[in-house]
Structure 1
Amino acid sequence: MSQKQFDPNPTHRNFYGRRSGKTLRRSQRGYLDEDLGALQPTNITVDENPAREPIDPGAIFGDDRPVWLEIGFGGGEHMVHMAARYPEIGMIGCEPYINGVAMLVGKIRKAGVGNVSVHPGDARDMMDVLPEGSISRAFLNYPDPWPKKRHHRRRFVTPEHLIPLHRVMAPGAEFRVATDIPSYVRQTLSEVPKAGFLLESLRAVAWPDWISTRYEQKALRERRTPSYLSFRRI
């Protein structure tokens, strides 16, 4: 792939999503001020780590447990659910939308889960510094649909994101995608295998350990049919 299409060591990236929304409630500001610092891994951004040296997931969680990655965790329902259900794993979540980060941190405090790490920024920055083959499972749940055709290149399921994801995932690791947008399903089926993933299943019923999120509930209210795709890193 040409350097124009994918730069593995970028110093600047375009970002198209929202960084913030409605004014945070006082309690949410408290969650961020009091809890977020201890949940964040260090040396993620270019400013912190200009040489883009790999971080050590073992140092984040204190041992060599399997590490899972959630890309864009929204309000954090799924991330906290999985961390509580699988206390033997370490869960890293990436989300640039600070309102969603505040919701997640509040849920972490309420659930009392300790096997989580939160990067309040672009997942690409995290993938830049994760070691090769360090992720055992990755999740992309109801990503920003970018419905206009001219914006499809902004979706996560493009080489700019999928090539780094393939690098950080272990051979045989599972990549799950949930979406209610038919064109997103088509683009996922087209692009993810090109990046080195094998389609295992495409289903209309969620995985047994799934928890319904606010985005899925909105899709169902609006009579859109969710799709659940599973891939294996090869």
Structure 2
Amino acid sequence: MSSDNDTSNSPTWGPLRSFGRIKSRTLKPRQAALFDTLLPTLAVPDPNAGPIDPQALMPGAKEVWLEIGFGGGEHLAAQAARHPDTLMIGCEPFLNGVGSALRHIEDGALKNVRLHADDARDVMKALPDASLDRVMILFPDPWHKARHNKRRLIQDESAAEIARLLKPGGRLRFVTDWKDYAEWALERLERTPGLEWTADRAADWKTAPEDHVVTRYEEKKLGDTEPLFLEFVRV
């Protein structure tokens, strides 16, 4: 895996890491315990072992949603509670975030969440075509420095992979509070065959959708703009 100072031109949809730290503070005792007790019961099968069948993860699920980089898990858990018949697959490499999500899942007695405590791209590659109803990417690492832009999650290759995974009519929601990343993502998503931007006017990307869940990260207002919401549909 390349270091953060790598200035090569290798594509992001490959060995380059699109996320930052894996762990910061020591896990709280309850969260550490949940890694041993709860996580094994809802972990996504090893994507390197073969294809992943979403229906095998939750038989009878009416829809399948994927959240890439769920942070502390507040949004993932809230959406899972609102949609108990929907399988929620969440991917997050930051172990403290996984620990937080496990706590939310236990507190809510949620049965429709499956987690991958690592790079989402591995799971995406293992999922079949047209297997997802929604993909959600909220506040991904912006990788500000120009030489690090290649590490951004949204690249032409990842956008094409999202289009492959979405069912016809399926939707992608990308949210960022950095103007340059919104422009970067919009440029790549708009030129991806099969994806169509749903916005008609500025309010469509400046106003939070009705089902949006505000997270602790969003409340910190660390970006250079109010959150921008890019919604795409698979056509």
Per the normalisation by structure 1, the TM-score is 0.88
Quick one: which amino acid aligns to residue 32 of structure 1?
F
Q: Which residue identity lines up with residue 198 of structure 2 in the other structure?
A: E
Residue matched to 2:228: 227
Q: Which amino acid aligns with 1:160?
A: E
The match for 2:43 among 29, 40, 43 is: 40
Q: Which runs of 4+ in 1 moved over 6 A?
A: none
Contact 1:135 1:169 in 2 (8 A): yes
RMSD: 1.8
- Structure 1 residues 199 and 20, CA, compared in 2 at 3 Å: closer, same or farther? same
Aligned partners of 1:210 and 1:157: how far apart in 2? 20
Are the counterparts in 1 of residues 179 and 225 from structure 2 also a CA contact under 8 Å? no
2:219 aligns with 217
Amino acid aligned to 1:218 = K
One of 206, 209, 231 as aligned partner of 1:207: 209
After superposition, where does 1:41-120 map in structure 2 within 5 Å? 41-44=44-47, 46=48, 49=49, 53-120=50-117
Task: Tell me which amino acid in the other structure corresponds to 2:77.
Answer: V
Alignment-derived partner of residue 160 in structure 1? 157
SS at 1:203 equivalent: helix
Partner of 2:3: none
Q: How far does residue 195 in structure 1 lie from its aligned partner after superposition?
A: 2.0
Matches within 5 A, 1:129-168: 129-168=126-165
Pairwise CA distance, 1:5:
4.9
CA-CA distance at 1:127 after TM superposition: 0.6
| DSSP 3-state at the match of 1:70 | strand
- 1:13-65 Cα deviation digits (max 9, x unpaired): 23252211111111110111110001112131x3xx1xxx3211111002252
User: How many correspondences in the alignment?
Assistant: 220
Secondary structure of the corresponding residue to residue 62 of structure 2:
coil
Check whether the contact 2:34–2:102 (CA below 8 A) recurs between aligned residues: yes
8 Å CA contact 1:133, 1:167 repeated in 2: yes
TM-score normalised by length of structure 2? 0.88
CA distance in 2, matches of 1:130, 1:63: 17
**CA distance, structure 1, for counterparts of residue 231 and residue 24 of structure 2:** 31
> 2:54 is aligned with what amino acid?
P
Q: CA deviation at 1:112?
A: 1.1
- 2:4 alignment counterpart: none
Shift of 1:154: 0.9
**Greater displacement, 173-182 / 191-200:** 191-200
In 2, distance between residues paired with 1:177 and 1:25? 31
Q: Percent identity?
A: 37
1:26 — aligned with what?
29
Equivalent residues of 1:6, 1:159 under 8 A apart: no
- Residue 152 of structure 1, CA deviation: 1.4
Structure 1 residue 159 displacement after superposition? 2.1
Which sections of structure 1, spanning at least 5 residues, go unmatched?
A: none
